[in-house]
Amino acid sequence: MTVNNSYKRFEKTRQAGNPDPLKQPVIVADHILSPMNVGAILRLAANINAAKVWLVYDEDPGFRNYKIKSTSSGASEKIDWEIISPEKLPEVLHPGNEIIAIETTEDAQNIYHAVLPAGVVFMVGNERYGLSDPLLKLAKRRVFIPVPGPISSLNVSHALAIGLFEWLRQHQ
């Protein structure tokens, strides 16, 4: 058994890259409370080759970088990410990308029935309250992940992973 077969398996994908930022997802994470979840989100961003990660906070959350760095498995140094205020976020989002909220709302569509665009911004909310109303209003669409079991919520990084890899499945 060889350890880390994924490095060999995905080497060609990494070398090919994806130079068109409109074909790389952008991630917006709204007021994430746990630095471990931030790290997991950054790791997912590197897994999927995201163009950018915007971490939305009203003020600096004061996380210790070593927690983010260790949870992200080095992704925090390999991808483009920034902290931004909610007011400035609309100014930096490319108008060619469709903003999709991964959020359980009355008008949300099942993610497995949704056609996801190549140019996409996925927004996820914090662990307690979800997406804030101002960010939710930026979304053109909302999608939910069906959860049939007795626990009806997912960890924010798990929900984002499902959204990102469903997007990848549709665009490979």
> What pLDDT score does 17 carry?
55
pLDDT, average across residues 14-37: 79
Identify the bridge partners of residue 122 per DSSP, sorted by sequence position.
27, 100
Q: Is the pLDDT of residue 21 over 80?
A: no
For residue 4, tell me if it sits in a domain. no
Range of the domain at 151: 19-171
For residue 68, tell me if it sits in a domain. yes
What pLDDT band is residue 5 in, cutting at 50, 70 and 90? low
Report yes or no on whether pTM surpasses 0.95: no
> What pLDDT score does 18 carry?
52
For residue 13, tell me if it sits in a domain. no
pLDDT tens digit string along 29-55? Answer: 999 999 999 999 999 999 999 999 999
Domain CATH for 141: 3.40.1280.10
For residue 103, tell me if it sits in a domain. yes
The more confident residue out of 122 and 17 is 122
> What pLDDT score does 41 carry?
96
For residue 64, tell me if it sits in a domain. yes
For residue 3, tell me if it sits in a domain. no
Comparing CA positions, the residue from 113, 104, 120, 35 lying closest to residue 71 is 35
For residue 81, tell me if it sits in a domain. yes
Q: What percent of the chain has pLDDT over 90?
A: 73
Report the number of distinct structural domains present in the chain: 1
